[in-house]
């Protein structure tokens, strides 16, 4: 075991897979010699060579096409999109192409691609860096969307994502990169994609979250506990496909739920979760399922992040609203 930040756990997972499988190739803007703008790929080009870890021209669509083409030749591409706000440039390669390849070829061509990309607010980035656009990806059949919330999950999920034979969008929250350390096994291990994690058991209300909102929910749960409310916290880990079973099981037990996301109310995946709960567990509900989200504006200017981004206080308030319904 070692104490690692999430970014170190990610680098470690990439190293494990580069070592394990000679078909794994890493590429993107400044991921080679520079080691990535966040140092996620630091030292990997030195260790594995320019043939395995390399820089590309500055063009996201080209990077997506490169990944697709390499996949047809038996490679296992792990491209990086520098910030997920830039995904619009590569939407066709992702949603229009790699997500559909297995289907359009009648299950004869698959795309074992893991697209890594940072996102998320709270670190005062310039425009189009922090936007939560996972909802766009979650709506595309053929993709899986993974969002780890801690170093341990980050490593196990990334190894699973790379080994998956279908395209995975792996989103890394920038605020979580170095904000805390965790015990992470040095050896390889995997965490199954599509499986949520019950981070905290509770009996009164279920808080369903992902990304940076997991920590906020944990903090909220502690405060709620002080007032005698026992909150169960579910970290989705994979937001597409959803682990509906785990969610519904928890809600049936607690009878109340709040879905928490950093994305705007019209975005993200909270609405999908609410819909699944009401279809499958309405007779168990003591109160409507409520959502904690950002307001439906364009992502905040850096100086307004503090008042704009949802936080643990919003979660406590919403949970109390559900408790007192």
Partner 1 sequence: MKRTNEKVAEQFPTFQILNEEGKVVNEEKMPKLSDDEFKDLMTRMVYTRILDQRSIALNRQGRLGFYAPTAGQEASQLGSHFALEKDDYLLPGYRDVPQLIWHGLPLYKAFLWSRGHFAGGQMPEGVHAMVPQIIIGAQYVQTAGVALGMKKRGEKRVAVTYTGDGGTSQGDFYEGMNFAGAFDAPAIFIAQNNRFAISTPVEKQTKAETLAQKAVAAGIEGIQVDGMDVLAVYVATKEARERAINGEGPTLIETLTYRYGPHTMAGDDPTRYRTKDLDSEWEQKDPLVRFRKFLEDKGIWSEEEENEVIERAKEEIKAAIKEADGVPKQKVTDLIGNMYETLPQNLQEQMEEYKAKESK
Q: How many CB atoms lie within 10 A of CB 270?
A: 26
Separation between Cα atoms, residue 243 and residue 297, nearest integer Å: 29
Backbone angles phi, psi at 117, to 5 degrees: -160, 135
Tokens representing 185 are 């096994």
| Triad 17, 269, 165: Cα angle to 5° | 25
Q: Which of 241, 255, 288, 302 binds partner 1 (CB under 8 A)?
A: 241
Comparison of 9 and 66: residue with beta carbon closer to partner 1: 66
302 forms part of the interface with partner 1 (CB under 8 A) = no
Q: Of 38-46, 70-78, 209-217, 294-302, which segment contacts partner 1 by CB under 8 A? A: 70-78
Distance in Å, CB of 220 to partner 1, minimum: 27
Q: If binding is defined by CB under 8 A, does position 97 make contact with partner 1?
A: yes
d(CA 255, CA 97): 41
Cα–chain-centroid distance for residue 245? Answer: 19
Is 129 among the residues known to form the active site? yes
Residue 88 structure tokens = 């619009």
Ramachandran bin of 268, using left for φ above 0, alpha for ψ from -120 to 50, beta for the remaining angles: left
Would you count residue 298 as binding partner 1 (CB under 8 A)? no
Binds partner 1 (CB under 8 A): choice among 48, 75, 84, 152: 75
Least CB distance to partner 1 at residue 31 (A): 15
E-only strand ranges, 174-237: 182-184, 197-200, 205-209, 231-235
- Positions 200 through 239 that interact with partner 1 (CB under 8 A): none
| Smallest separation, CB 87 to partner 1 (Å) | 15
Residues 243-272 that bind partner 1 (CB under 8 A): 243-245
Report in angstroms how near the CB of residue 262 gets to partner 1 at its nearest.
23
Per DSSP, what are the bridge partners of residue 291? 259
What Cα–Cα distance (Å) separates residue 60 from each residue in 44, 149, 230?
21, 25, 45
Q: Per the residue annotation, which of 124, 129, 173, 312 is the catalytic one? A: 129
Q: H-helix or E-strand containing 290?
A: strand 290-294
Among 43, 49, 96, 295, binds partner 1 (CB under 8 A): 96
Site map 141..160 versus partner 1, x via CB under 8 A: xx-x----------------
Residues in contact with partner 1 by the rule CB under 8 A: 25, 51, 56-57, 59, 61-62, 64-75, 92-93, 96-97, 102-110, 141-142, 144, 164-166, 194, 241-245
* Catalytically annotated residues: 129
């Amino acid at each position: 075991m070692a104490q690692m930040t999430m970014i170190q756990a990610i680098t470690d997972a990439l190293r494990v897979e580069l070592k394990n499988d000679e078909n794994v190739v890493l590429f993107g803007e400044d991921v080679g010699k520079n080691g990535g703008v966040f140092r996620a790929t630091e030292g990997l080009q030195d260790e594995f060579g320019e043939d395995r870890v390399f820089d590309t021209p500055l063009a996201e669509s080209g990077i997506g096409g490169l990944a697709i083409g390499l996949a047809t030749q038996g490679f296992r591409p792990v491209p990086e999109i520098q910030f997920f706000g830039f995904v619009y440039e590569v939407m066709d390669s992702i949603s229009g192409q790699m997500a559909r390849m297995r289907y359009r070829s009648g299950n004869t061509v698959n795309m074992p691609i893991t697209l890594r990309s940072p996102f998320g607010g709270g670190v005062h980035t310039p425009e189009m860096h922090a936007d939560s656009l996972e909802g766009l990806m979650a709506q595309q059949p053929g993709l899986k969307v993974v969002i780890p919330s801690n170093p341990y999950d980050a490593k196990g999920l990334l190894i699973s994502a790379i080994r998956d034979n279908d395209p995975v969008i792996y989103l890394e929250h920038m605020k979580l990169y170095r904000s805390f350390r965790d015990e992470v096994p040095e050896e390889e291990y995997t965490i199954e994609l599509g499986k949520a994690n019950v981070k905290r058991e509770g009996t009164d209300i279920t808080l369903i979250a992902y990304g940076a909102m997991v920590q906020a929910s944990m903090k909220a749960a502690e405060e709620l506990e002080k007032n005698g409310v026992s909150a169960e916290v579910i970290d989705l880990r994979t937001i597409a496909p959803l682990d509906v079973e785990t969610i519904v099981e928890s809600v049936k037990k607690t009878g109340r739920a709040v879905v928490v996301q950093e994305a705007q109310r019209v975005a993200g995946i909270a609405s999908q979760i609410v819909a699944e709960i009401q279809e499958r567990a309405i007779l168990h509900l003591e109160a409507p399922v409520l959502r904690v989200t950002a307001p439906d504006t364009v992502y905040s200017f850096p100086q307004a992040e503090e008042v704009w981004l949802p936080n643990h206080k919003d979660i406590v308030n919403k949970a109390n609203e559900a408790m007192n319904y």
